[in-house]
Amino acid sequence: MANLTAEQVNGLADNFSAMAETVGEFRYKNYENLSASQNQQIKDLQATILDVADRLYTLSAVLVMEDIETSLATIDNITNEIKETYKTLLDFQKAINVAGAVVTLGSSILSGKPASIVQSIDSLVKIWNA
């Protein structure tokens, strides 16, 4: 089992599912000709095959992890790079905003009004931390 891939296990699960369906159809069509005990036996057999198929579908979903390791790492790297580029481009706007706030602060200092200076510093800090 260790060598089977997720897709192969999924294929096996499909086969078991089809097998269970065939067993079930046989029972429904021949119900009247089967004894109660035969009916129960076939019903139990179908239930067992269904359980095996169910476990195989789950196993296939888990085995996917082994097939995606490399792809997952590559996409994660690319996504991180995209985020970095996006952040760099956003930083241009921040730089412009900071420049505006710095100019306003310089102008306030030159005007010599303490209230205006305090307000400009506040504004600069807010923009810097944004």
- Contact residues: other proteins, CB under 8 A: 6-7, 10, 13-14, 17, 20-21, 24, 27-28, 31, 43, 46-47, 50, 53-55, 57-62, 64-65, 67-68, 70-72, 74-76, 78-79, 81-83, 85-86, 89-90, 92-93, 96-97, 99-101, 103-104, 106-107, 110-111
Nearer to other proteins, 3 or 91 (CB): 91
Q: Estimate to the nearest angstrom the gap between the alpha carbon of 129 and the chain centroid.
A: 31
| Type of residue found at 1 | M
Q: Find the shortest distance in angstroms from Cβ 108 to other proteins.
A: 8
Q: Return the number of the residue (3 or 28) whose C-beta is nearest other proteins.
A: 28
Give the residue carrying structure tokens 């599912």. Answer: 17
